[in-house]
């Protein structure tokens, strides 16, 4: 499925469509250049899932935990990871197999730790406010 967000305002409805499209799958990998909108889309997905607290990039903690209205969400940003052992040490696999939502930025940093099945989301910048969002079940 390919969705096009032509503004920040459009993301709420895109996030709703995306979540209904993927069904019960809980692991989401976000691909795209720096500034392509991974964190911004995750913010909208969390809002749709009923998260009231602020959603920001977990750059220093690697993982943030949010409470949705009926689900827990773990938000990872592996950009600063030095090696995969660091992810293993912080218990990444336990999070992935916990049955909770896992939204993962920079999954390219942990190629050997990815689960067999997940939703792959790729963001492409079309212009300042527009993003092409490709959604694929793996």
Ligand X SMILES: Nc1ncnc2c1ncn2[C@@H]1O[C@H](COP(=O)(O)OP(=O)(O)OP(=O)(O)O)[C@@H](O)[C@H]1O
Binding site for Mg ion (CB under 5 A): 38-39, 57, 105
Q: According to the binding rule CB under 6 A, does residue 5 interact with ligand X?
A: yes
* Shortest spacing between CB 106 and ligand X, in angstroms: 7
Q: What angle do CA 54, 93, 79 make, to 5 degrees?
A: 55
Measured from the CB of residue 46, what is the shortest distance to Mg ion in angstroms?
13
Look at residue 91 and give the partner it binds from ligand X, Mg ion, none, a contact being a CB closer than 5 to 8 Å depending on partner kind.
Answer: none
Nearer to ligand X, 94 or 128 (CB): 128
The two three-digit tokens of residue 138, written as one number:
């793996």
Is residue 40 close enough to count as binding ligand X by CB under 6 A? yes
- Check binding of 57 to ligand X (CB under 6 A): yes
Given the rule CB under 6 A, which of 18-26, 30-38, 86-94, 110-118 is the region that contacts ligand X?
30-38
Instruction: Say whether 130 sits in a helix, a strand or coil.
Output: coil
Task: Provide the binding-site residues for ligand X, judged by CB under 6 A.
Answer: 5, 7-8, 11, 32, 34-41, 57, 105, 129-131
């Amino acid at each position: 499925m390919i969705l096009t967000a032509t503004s920040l305002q459009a993301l709420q409805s895109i996030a709703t469509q995306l979540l209904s499209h993927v069904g019960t799958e809980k692991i989401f990998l976000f691909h795209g250049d720096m500034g392509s909108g991974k964190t911004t889309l995750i913010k909208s997905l969390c809002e749709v899932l009923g998260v009231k607290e602020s959603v920001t990039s977990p750059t220093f903690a690697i993982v943030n935990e949010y409470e949705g209205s009926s689900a827990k969400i773990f938000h990872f940003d592996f950009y600063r990871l030095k090696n995969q052992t660091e992810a293993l040490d912080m218990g990444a696999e336990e999070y992935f197999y916990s049955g909770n939502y896992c939204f993962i930025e920079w999954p390219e940093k942990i190629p050997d730790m990815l689960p067999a099945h997940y939703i792959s989301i790729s963001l492409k910048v079309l212009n300042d406010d527009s993003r092409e969002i490709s959604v694929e079940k793996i």
